[in-house]
Homo-oligomer: A and B are copies of this chain.
Amino acid sequence: MALADILAEDRPRRPGTQAALAELSETFGDRLATGEDVRRAHSHTTTYIPNQLPDAVLFARSEAEVQTLVRIAARHGMPIVPFGVGSSLEGHVNAPFGGVSLDLSGMNEVVSVYPEDLDCIVEPGVTREALNEHLRDTGLFFPIDPGANASLGGMAATRASGTNAVRYGTMRENVVGLNAVMADGSVIRTARRAKKTAAGYDLTRLLVGSEGTLGIITRLNLKLYGIPEQVLSGVCPFPDVVSAVNAVIQTVQIGVPVARIELLDALSIEATNRHSKLDLPATPHLFVEFHGSPASVADQAASFAVIIEENGGGEFRSASRAEERSRLWKARHDFYWASIGLRPGAKAIATDVCVPISRLADCIEETRMDAEAAGLIAPTVGHVGDGNFHVTLLIDTDVPAEIDAAEAFLKRLAERALDMDGTCTGEHGVGQGKRGYLSAELGASVDVMRAVKTALDPSNIMNPGKIFSFETR
């Protein structure tokens, strides 16, 4: 599409957009794409939130190019929406006020690996699988695994976590430092490569989870870990969610350093059996994994066996060979696709909350009853070692009443988590979908966030319309 036609569309847009796009077009030529398909692909979200297309997509190749873009955008007050692979779940990549989607997938170099120091430096477009592929011969790996093969820049920007977080932490704990282009076009490096520092404000953690609203991440210094000498995975059935969660609480409490401990409820097992050709009994299961030396793994497994026994769990089916393990975790990761099999043709809307673990069984159980009462198909899986779980709603997004029922359910779920002193999002982020809960969750803290946002991005060009519910132009 010609820029003139795009700009003729009636939608909220900053006055300087046309001039900014003209300047970008002149600077970047073909790498400023305006075709409808590419623009649509860059606003694709797996939510019920409608797509809001950017006016153009810029494929950047370097930090210097990002800086050039930001300077042009800043001069004209045009929004920039950073884009990795588009796997975010709360509308982070939508462009409600138009402007440019900044595609960082071309900045995909692993810049350096420091095996002695257990860290590396990567560009933001490197995906987690690409990094682990690159590391294969070093004996090291990067553990954070949100399921999707997300870009590491996107994972940092949304403070992603996933199945391994119970042992290795989230992106919050695993970014040593980063480079970012700020709203005025300056480039900052937030920390040196030392493992810890007490030198001033923790800008690394301020940028991690800021969802592109404060600056654009152009380089990441990430922690790495030695590939464990031994890995043991397995699955174990439980009579109900409460006993499975109690087993998790005990595991965490006695300090078994479990690497993954995932709950799949009965409905999720049903879906997974069908999709991934497993034959698990249709009751809640824990999928677990232990990492360590052979002695440590045996020790962990023995402790866990006692906990299973005490909580009425069934047989622990282990998978120590790599291909069995891969099959198991592929089944877990494919849950999103498996869930769609529960209602062919429906769209799967994934949400996430996180509560103190002592409230987890209650929260999951109340949520299950709520879904039942609302007539919603809502399989539940969770990173239960962290008190974090996902409900996936299978809805027909062409039926407004279903969207309404889903939205009302999601609202009750967020409020339930808040009532239990939890958070409306453990790992998916706020984006557009969770903006409405932030004040209820954090009160006056949101004013402080807004003051920081205003100080660092006074013209609100950095991913506007995300995190905050006010719709500043």
Contact = CB atoms under 8 A, between A and B. Distances in A.
Copies in the complex: 2
Interface stretch (A10-18, A330-338, A340-348, A349-357): A349-357
A397 to B, nearest CB: 24
B299 A194 contact: no
Range class of the A interface residue count: 35 or more
Interface in A37-95: none
Contacts of A424: 199
A202 B356 contact: no
A458 to B, nearest CB: 10
A430 B188 contact: no
A196 B161 contact: yes
A372 interface: no
A153 to B, nearest CB: 15
A79 B111 CA distance: 45
A441 interface: yes
A456 B452 CA distance: 8
A203 interface: yes
B296 A421 contact: no
A249 interface: yes
What 10 A-B pairs are tightest by C-beta distance, nearest first? A205-B205, A455-B455, A116-B358, A197-B423, A194-B354, A295-B299, A117-B356, A194-B422, A193-B421, A198-B429
Given A202-B209, A255-B226, A452-B456, A426 B386 contact: no
B448 A182 contact: yes
A427 B196 contact: yes
Nearest to A434: B199
A252 interface: yes
Interface string A443-465: 11111110111111000000000
Nearest to A170: B196
Of residues A158, A182, A421, which shows the largest number of chain B Cβ atoms within 10 Å of its Cβ? A421
Contacts of A295: 295-296, 298-299
A199 B191 CA distance: 23
A469 to B, nearest CB: 11
A186 B447 contact: yes
Contact of A293 (B202, B303, B386, B441): B303
Contacts of A255: 225-226, 228, 292
B199 A442 contact: yes
A429 B118 CA distance: 24
B205 A443 contact: no
Contact of A200 (B118, B209, B454): B209
A94 B188 CA distance: 30
B442 A200 contact: yes
Interface in A299-317: 299, 303
